[in-house]
Amino acid sequence: MLNAFALAGVALVIGAMLPAQAQTALPPISSVGHGSILGANGKDVAPTRALILASQKYYIDRLLSQLPGDRQTQLLGQRARMSSGRAVVEEDEVYANSIFIEKLISVAKPADALAMDSINSVIVNQYAKMVRPPGSVAAVSGIALAPSAIMQAAVDSEGLKKKQQDSEGLSGQAYIDACAAAGVPVPPPWGDKRWKSNGRLQTKFILETEVAEVFWYGSKSPVGVCIALPRWKENDKKNVNVGALGIICQGNTTGTSCYWDNMKKKKPVDIPIVLPKDATVPLTTFGGGDDLIGGNGICTDCHAGENTFIVHPDSALDLGPILRPTKWVRPIVPKAWNQNPGPSSALDKIVLKEGEKSCLRCHNEKDRNRFPTLSLATLKYCTTILPQAVEHTMPPTDDDAPPSPRVPFDGTLRLKSPAYKTHVDALLATCQDTGATAEQMAQIVKYLENKWENPTQALQ
């Protein structure tokens, strides 16, 4: 029976459902978050020009393969004419590819269109950082690249102008007002003295190459909390701005959350690492609501569960009871984003053997820590949040397991406490979903096979 499996066995079953080509067709860049790019193994990778061009080619090929032959021919003709009759410089090629990918997304309408749109934006912004020093980024047609006049004319002649931001939902001050009306605290301007530092994160949970410092703002009316997490390259003396600065606020009484980021309408918003004395940055400077579409990723792909924060016990993020809402959190985010379904019942009926331990000791209704309902719609939670947590931060250090040091990846997922393996298996197994695309299925299969011990173990 499928409900009595070992995790690796599930990977084998899913793999058997895929065509051979789908099992190996993994993208060079699988997702984005906090202004950085993640490889197929869920770890942050350094952007290079070769990686960006390879990723653009991957997504162009994948999107074209979903269209009928005559439509492929038509669209490829458009792309060819954009570069016809002249040598094309690399920046023009990256720009034209980004416009073309956006066109293909709108035509092919893949299931993960929003995620692909974010990847397309972030890799272009990463390319701009490589070819221009900080402070000199030229924003043209809504992205941080400056194509030549010839390339821009060619794009315009093909009717492939940069897509305008969807204005159906809330953004700007209207989004702030909606959050306030829903009982979510509105944070003070960034740099205001009401933001309190709780120290740097010592655990490099997702992005290993950046420093992250936790700032928080507590609100009594409405009751709730905001957390800001600026990230920057500590050893990069040329970098005067934070690489990413996300702000999440949660209303504890209404169980509602809102998100802001220094990415607005697909363009980075420069926020200095050190603000001038007495200077502040208004919340309206940040992107919020529909301004986040196509930006640094889909926030609720990772930020899911009974409360909206991803908290590592005994870390600077662990602010205690102030993080606990009285209701299951419902985010105010673009309607096509994950809406935090849950709570999960995946562990409720599992009978543990002697010596095995339960994640429900902490992740329960009383403690307001229940898991979200998982599927491949929450792919980043499945392939990044859960595996990283069970390796490095879960269970807390007051359990019988010592902290797990980060070691070079060698193909094995090292559980911080093996006594929880049955529950970890069950949680990750729920990530399979019959509505997933072949590529999504291939990604989870590849990830689990590479990360878990005994990948050839049969179903029990």
Residue pLDDT, tens place only, 54-90: 999 999 999 999 999 999 999 999 999 988 767 788 9
| Residue 376 pLDDT level (bands cut at 50, 70, 90) | low
Output the pLDDT for position 363.
93
- At residue 276, the pLDDT reads 74
Does position 410 have pLDDT exceeding 50, yes or no?
Answer: no
Question: Rounded mean pLDDT of 323-338?
Answer: 91
Task: Tell me the C-alpha distance between 453 and 435, whole Å.
Answer: 27
| Distance linking the first and last C-alpha atoms of the chain | 8
Specify the pTM: 0.75
Beta bridge mates, 272? 241
Q: What is the mean pLDDT of the chain?
A: 77
Q: What is the CA radius of gyration of the chain?
A: 22
The answer to whether 193 and 280 are in contact (CB under 8 A) is no
What pLDDT was estimated at residue 207? 66
Model confidence over 433-459: pLDDT tens digits? 545 555 555 555 555 554 443 322 222
| pLDDT above 60: residue 177 | yes
Block residue for tokens 């420093």: 211
| pLDDT tens, residue by residue, 114-145 | 788 888 888 887 888 787 655 444 443 344 67
pLDDT at 25 (0 to 100): 53
pLDDT at 39 (0 to 100)? 74
Q: How confident is the model at residue 324 (pLDDT cuts 50, 70, 90)?
A: very high
**What pLDDT is attached to residue 142?**
43
Q: How high is the pLDDT of residue 194?
A: 95
Integer Cα distance of 154 and 120 in angstroms: 20
pLDDT reported for residue 417: 80
The percentage of residues in the chain with a pLDDT greater than 90, rounded to a whole number, is 32
Q: Lowest mean pLDDT of 11-15, 186-190, 220-224, 426-430, name the range.
A: 11-15
| pLDDT of 17 strictly over 50 | no
pLDDT at 312: 79
452 compared with 288, residue with greater pLDDT: 288
